[in-house]
Amino acid sequence: MALLALVAGSLLLSACQPAPRKLHGVPYEKPKPAPDLPLTDQYGRPFSLSTQKGKVVIVYFGYTSCPDVCPVTLAQLTQVWTGLGPDQAKFFQPIFVTVDPERDTDEVIARYLGAFDSAVGGDQGLGFIGLRGAPAELDPVMAAYGVQAEKRPQPGSAVGYTVDHTASIYAIDTEGNLLEWFPYGASVDDILWDVRYLIQKGAKK
Amino acid sequence: MTLPAASSPQGSGEGAGAAKVQAADVWARAAATGNSAAYMILRNGGDTADRLVKAESDVADAVELHKTTMEGSMMKMAPVENIEVPAKGQAKLEPGGLHVMLIGLKRELKAGEKIKLKLQFEKAGAQEIEAEVRKP
């Protein structure tokens, strides 16, 4: 009896499409092509989002001197990455965009992201992309994603200044469409579920 | 959760100002460079409120008390003067909220190692504690 149920269960499973559940983030009313990120990566190379077609991309805007919320979010993305497993991991690409290009040089970003890469198999060619641009390049990108950032001087503090910024993450499907965003504090499970779903959906095309 | 025996207060704790605040679950985030943060739970067994007024560590150029707040989807971070630990209560220093900010790391903080922090309380005096470095 138990065996029968097991067999029936596995048949049912294999016949199933990915569950038609809704995505967990906040959807855009009309999914649109994701605004490009014409910035420079942490190795000094020009970047374009079009190179990431076929991957599910998550974009996060932050700054490396932020010791609290930014690493929490990047750590969550590394958990999503490892949660995908080796087969799907190569179809996921998290991107960090600095809102503090003044302090975050390419080198600083590379070192900062390197600490996270080592958790996801940086040795297998997987790694965060870190992007930087002069304010004239960065401002239109932030506006296109609806990201705000404001430099706030902190007199009397050794940090000099902090940067208030939108701490959401943005999900782009394998076709390059901006589908949804998650507020800070979204669960790893929800993000992972959506990324996996979008990877599977992309693989069918 | 039980308090580790090692966290019993040291230093200027004896007598009238006997330390009643203890730090538990103390950890710091691994970081290669730049800044990091330390988190903990401060428990006050005393009948009067106390305040964490200062923190020090050899691993960073400067150590400050900071607080992150969310306003809508905007993340803001700013120094705070002190962190109140209510009488018979606790203060939680945790990601996305209050933290001890380690500014300008002098060296890499590697997961698994322990670093020393010195906490200065208004009433309970100074305490040396250890923070376990955990993965980011």
Please judge whether B36 and A67 are an interchain contact, meaning their C-beta atoms are less than 8 angstroms apart: yes
Please judge whether A162 and B78 are an interchain contact, meaning their C-beta atoms are less than 8 angstroms apart: yes
Which residues of A are less than 8 Å from B136 in CB distance?
Answer: 71, 74-75, 78, 115-116, 119
Q: Does B6 touch chain A (CB under 8 A)?
A: no
At residue B12, the pLDDT reads 43
ipTM: 0.80
* Residues of the domain holding A168: 31-203
User: What is the pLDDT tens value at each position of chain B, 136 positions in all?
Assistant: 444 444 444 444 444 445 589 999 999 999 888 899 999 999 999 999 999 999 999 999 999 999 999 999 999 999 999 999 999 999 999 999 999 999 999 999 999 999 999 999 999 999 999 999 998 7
Q: Does pLDDT of A23 surpass 80?
A: yes
Q: What is the CATH number of the domain that holds B29?
A: 2.60.40.1890
Task: Give domain status of residue A104, yes or no.
Answer: yes
Q: Does pLDDT of A52 surpass 60?
A: yes
State how far residue A176 is from chain B, nearest Cα, in angstroms: 24
Please judge whether B96 and A68 are an interchain contact, meaning their C-beta atoms are less than 8 angstroms apart: yes
> Of A86-100, A120-134, B54-68, B81-95, which range is least confident?
A120-134
At residue A22, the pLDDT reads 80
Task: Give domain status of residue A120, yes or no.
Answer: yes
Model-level pTM?
Answer: 0.85
B117 forms bridges with which residues in the sheet?
Answer: B129
Task: Give domain status of residue B4, yes or no.
Answer: no
Q: Does B24 touch chain A (CB under 8 A)?
A: no
Task: Give domain status of residue A14, yes or no.
Answer: no
Q: Does A156 touch chain B (CB under 8 A)?
A: yes
Task: Give domain status of residue B89, yes or no.
Answer: yes
Q: What is the CATH number of the domain that holds A142?
A: 3.40.30.10
Task: Give domain status of residue B3, yes or no.
Answer: no
Specify the number of domains making up chain B.
1
Contacts of B72 (CB under 8 A, 6+ apart): none
Q: A 119-138 residues with CB below 8 A of B?
A: 119
Which residues of A are less than 8 Å from B78 in CB distance?
Answer: 152, 154, 162
Banded pLDDT at A66 (limits 50, 70, 90):
confident
Contact A55, A91 (CB under 8 A): yes
In DSSP notation, chain B reads -PPPGGGS--STTSGGG---EEEEEEEEE-BSSS-EEEEEEEEE-SSS-EEEEEEE-TTEEEEEEEEEEEETTEEEEEE-S-EEE-TT-EEEE-TTSEEEEEEEESSPBPTT-EEEEEEEETTTEEEEEEEEEE--
Task: Give domain status of residue A97, yes or no.
Answer: yes
Task: Give domain status of residue B29, yes or no.
Answer: yes
Banded pLDDT at A115 (limits 50, 70, 90):
confident
Task: Give domain status of residue A4, yes or no.
Answer: no
At residue B36, the pLDDT reads 94
Specify the number of domains making up chain A.
1
* Residues of the domain holding B64: 21-134
> Rounded mean pLDDT of A50-71?
94
